[in-house]
């Protein structure tokens, strides 16, 4: 396991590489070219500059999150072909710079969705929260306003105010989309892209849908063990793999995360992991909480033990954190709570591996 941190790049992230470098036990970052719109080819020079910047700070670029998939690919329009070709070229360019891992998602219109970006917790910190009642009552445009008004000037990915008009248009385009059609479009994408990933030696790692159920009537696919299995079989290649995001899959209590890790990990299909805790209050009502097991509904020891037992060697990152110690910034992506998370997860890992060595001696 390699402990990493998500970094949005110096123009888009208040957290600096220097700060990240000082988190104990971190070896690298997961980054992106945040300003390049989905569907465009990433220029080699830009990728190289990103990598150089990270390496001069004493860190490594362990992977890209995300190379976003253009909506036309998910919609399966005639334009899809062009965007798939661009995606392949981006992979080739990334490979030229030595990148070995790409995380992406296949969620229509929105990326991860929350109904409150700064819910106050008992200890006075604030966090990302989701309440299905809010989703049911409100149309997406209205929700944009409410959620974005309470987010310190940041917005959820995919929820940018300038996208409002586009979102209405997109929702219309998706009006006759079914799960089966979306599976078909995902399969088409993978059949084109995975052979290129193989040539380039880039592991592709799809991020689960977050939350793992349909939101605003849009179909969602990457939601359960059964669907993960269907996904890896669409193209049966080790390059067609998964990001296990414990907090995304874990808000559905039917998803047994340690079991999912053991199952897909032993098949060699987990390439990347986001490890965070969530507290499920009621079905489809949850808060993101501190990493330590006792704060949430997930057993972080069992999760890390499962990664250890399947000999997971890829990058892990703490995913989101709460806003603590008066920090302000991009919701979920402050420095402090994510750093605490990384250190806690490293602590669990050290204990698990030393216990294992002790037991093997006896
Ligand atoms: C949610 C987060 C997301 C995720 C992207 C991947 O759990 O990790 O920002 O990184 O959806 O494409
Ligand atoms: Mn995640």
State ipTM: 0.95
Supply the pLDDT for residue 302: 98
With beta carbons less than 8 A apart as the criterion, state whether 67 and 90 touch. yes
Q: Which ligand is nearest to the CA of 288?
A: 1
Tokens, residue 89: 């070229």
Among 62, 65, 320, name the best residue to mutate to test ligand 1's pocket (greatest count of ligand atoms within 8 A of Cβ): 65
* Sign of the CA dihedral running 137, 143, 145, 150: positive
Q: Which residue's CA is the nearest one to ligand 1's atom 8?
A: 319
**How far is it, in rounded angstroms, from Cα 326 to Cα 347?**
25
With a threshold of 0.90, does the pTM exceed it? yes
248 lines ligand 1 (CB under 6 A): yes
Considering only CA atoms, which of 2, 1, 19 is closest in space to residue 333? Answer: 19
Q: Decide: helix, strand or coil at residue 256.
A: coil
66 lines ligand 1 (CB under 6 A): yes
Supply the pLDDT for residue 44: 98
- Name the residue with tokens 């941190």: 5
Annotated active-site residue 271? The verdict is no
Supply the pLDDT for residue 154: 65
Supply the pLDDT for residue 134: 85
Nearest-5° Cα angle at 146, 38 to 283: 85
- Name the residue with tokens 């669409």: 234
* Sign of the CA dihedral running 259, 263, 264, 266: positive
**How far is it, in rounded angstroms, from Cα 62 to Cα 193?**
20
With beta carbons less than 8 A apart as the criterion, state whether 321 and 336 touch. yes
106 lines ligand 1 (CB under 6 A): no
Phi and psi at residue 351, in whole multiples of 5°? -65, -45
Supply the pLDDT for residue 140: 72
With beta carbons less than 8 A apart as the criterion, state whether 82 and 71 touch. no
In the chain, what are the domain boundaries?
2-361
Q: What is the dihedral of CA 94, 97, 101, 105, to 10 degrees?
A: -30
End-to-end CA distance of the chain: 25
Supply the pLDDT for residue 5: 98
Q: What dotted CATH number matches 2-361?
A: 3.20.20.150
With beta carbons less than 8 A apart as the criterion, state whether 134 and 142 touch. no
With beta carbons less than 8 A apart as the criterion, state whether 167 and 141 touch. yes
Supply the pLDDT for residue 144: 67
Using the mean position of ligand 1's atoms as its centre, give its distance from the Cα of residue 361 in Å: 40
The pLDDT averaged over each successive group of 10 residues in the chain (362 residues) is 98 97 97 96 98 98 97 97 98 98 95 91 96 83 66 64 77 93 98 98 98 93 98 98 98 98 98 98 98 98 98 97 95 97 98 96 80
Considering only CA atoms, which of 339, 274, 324 is closest in space to residue 300? Answer: 274
For 287, half-sphere exposure in the C-beta direction (CA atoms, 13 angstrom radius) is 16
Cis bond leading into 295, ω under 30°?
Answer: no
Annotated active-site residue 200? The verdict is no
Supply the pLDDT for residue 165: 76
104 lines ligand 1 (CB under 6 A): yes
**How far is it, in rounded angstroms, from Cα 91 to Cα 97?**
10
Supply the pLDDT for residue 190: 98
Annotated active-site residue 97? The verdict is no
Supply the pLDDT for residue 126: 96
With beta carbons less than 8 A apart as the criterion, state whether 338 and 321 touch. yes
């Amino acid at each position: 396991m390699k402990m990493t941190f998500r970094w949005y790049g110096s123009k888009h992230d208040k957290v600096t590489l220097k700060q990240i470098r000082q988190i104990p036990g971190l070896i690298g970052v997961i980054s992106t070219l945040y300003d390049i719109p989905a569907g465009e080819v990433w220029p080699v020079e830009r990728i190289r500059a990103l990598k150089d910047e990270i390496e001069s700070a004493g860190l490594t670029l362990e992977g890209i999150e995300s190379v976003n998939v253009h909506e036309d690919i998910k919609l399966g329009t005639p334009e899809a072909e062009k965007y798939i070709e661009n995606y392949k070229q981006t992979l080739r360019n990334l490979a030229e710079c030595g990148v070995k891992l790409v995380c992406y998602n296949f969620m229509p219109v929105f990326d991860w969705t929350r109904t409150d970006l700064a819910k106050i917790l008992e200890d006075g910190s604030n966090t990302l929260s989701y309440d299905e009642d809010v989703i049911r009552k409100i149309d997406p445009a209205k929700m944009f306003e409410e959620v974005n008004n309470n987010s310190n000037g940041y917005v959820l990915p995919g929820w940018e105010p300038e996208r409002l008009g586009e979102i209405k248009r997109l929702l219309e385009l998706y009006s006759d989309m079914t799960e089966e059609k979306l599976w078909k479009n995902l399969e088409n994408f993978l059949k084109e892209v995975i052979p290129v990933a193989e040539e380039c030696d880039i592991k592709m790692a799809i991020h689960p849908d977050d939350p793992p159920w349909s939101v605003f009537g849009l179909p969602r696919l990457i939601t359960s063990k059964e669907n993960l299995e269907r996904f890896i079989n669409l193209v049966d290649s080790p390059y067609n793999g998964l990001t296990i995001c414990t907090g995304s899959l874990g808000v559905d209590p039917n998803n047994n995360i340690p079991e999912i890790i053991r199952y897909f990990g032993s098949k060699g299909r987990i390439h990347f992991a986001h490890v965070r805790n969530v507290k499920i209050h009621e079905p489809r009502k949850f808060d993101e909480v501190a990493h330590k097991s006792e704060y949430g509904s997930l057993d972080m020891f069992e999760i890390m033990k499962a990664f250890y037992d399947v000999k997971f060697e890829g990058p892990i990152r703490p995913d989101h954190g709460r806003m603590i110690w008066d920090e302000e910034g991009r919701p979920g992506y402050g420095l402090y709570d994510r750093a605490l998370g990384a250190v806690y997860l490293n602590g669990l890992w050290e204990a698990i591996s030393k216990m294992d060595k002790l037991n093997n001696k006896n």
